[in-house]
Amino acid sequence: MSAAIGNAAGAAATARAQELAAGAAKTSLGQDQFLRLMLTQLKNQDPLKPLEPTEFVTQLAQFSQVSGIKEMNDSLATLADSLAGSRVMDGAALVGRGVLAESDTLTLPEGGSANGAVDVPAGASRVQLSIKDSAGQLVRTLELSPKAGAGGFAWDGQTNAGSVAAPGEYTVEALATVGGKAQSLPVYAAGYIDSVSIDRAAGTLTLNTNTLGSLDLAAVREIF
């Protein structure tokens, strides 16, 4: 009689466990489902064949792992929201600041100057900046200091002929003479940050400038 009751209870426990497991498989096994499954097994276990202690401990460990993963995910979500908020504040603080970014284009504003910098290599005997219009015609040549390191420049719009160039975009290239050989140098144009776009999902900042367009923060050489 006891064996029959035990077998019936065991069969009921197995059926209930399978039912819960099937339901959990359709979505995911959360804390509540896992706890109900474990309690159902304990409540309906066969009195003649109780749940093995090692199996019970294993299930407790699995429950603890599920609980820990959920708590960790919640903590990571909170941390991500906090970092996104911090980036918003950081981005707002950049508005109005100047930036240097690699560019082969200079924008000459009305009544202003186009500014930038080049990295002068060691051993350079001459560094020359050539500015050309949209037709490829040379407009201005600037001689920069050959001293190694970052060398800034400012073009006030004056042409080689002594006239004033029209506002707009001009191409620029820099050549250094090192050991008697010409070497092309990257040019970094200057601009100012008008606004900042924030991608909360990716956690990235995009700097929207007045002369350099939209820049990824990683493309910026210097913020000043």
Same domain, 114 and 207: yes
Q: Which band of pLDDT confidence, cut at 50, 70 and 90, is reported for residue 4? A: very low
With 0.75 as the threshold, say if the pTM is over it: no
* Block residue for tokens 């719009």: 157
Exposure b/e, 25-62, CB count within 10 A at least 16 = b: eeeebeeebbeebbebbeebbbeeeeeeeeeeeebeee
Domain boundary among 60, 92, 124: 92
Instruction: Tell me which residue range forms the domain holding 8.
Output: 2-92
pLDDT at residue 205 in the model = 84
Domain boundary among 92, 115, 134: 92
Same domain, 69 and 180: no
> pLDDT tens for residues 125-166?
999 999 999 999 999 999 999 999 999 999 999 999 999 999
109 near 166, Cβ under 8 Å? no
Domain boundary among 92, 107, 141: 92
Same domain, 55 and 108: no
How far apart, in Å, are the Cα atoms of 120 and each of 20, 103, 117?
71, 16, 9
pLDDT at residue 37 in the model = 73
> pLDDT tens for residues 198-212?
887 776 889 999 999
Number of domains in the chain: 2
> pLDDT tens for residues 68-124?
676 777 666 665 555 555 666 677 788 999 999 999 999 999 999 999 999 999 999
> pLDDT tens for residues 5-39?
444 545 555 555 566 555 544 455 555 676 677 67
Q: What angle do CA 107, 141, 185 make, to 5 degrees?
A: 75
Same domain, 126 and 76: no
Same domain, 103 and 84: no
Same domain, 207 and 103: yes
Same domain, 46 and 10: yes
pLDDT at residue 218 in the model = 87
What CATH code is carried by the domain that includes residue 196? 2.60.40.4070
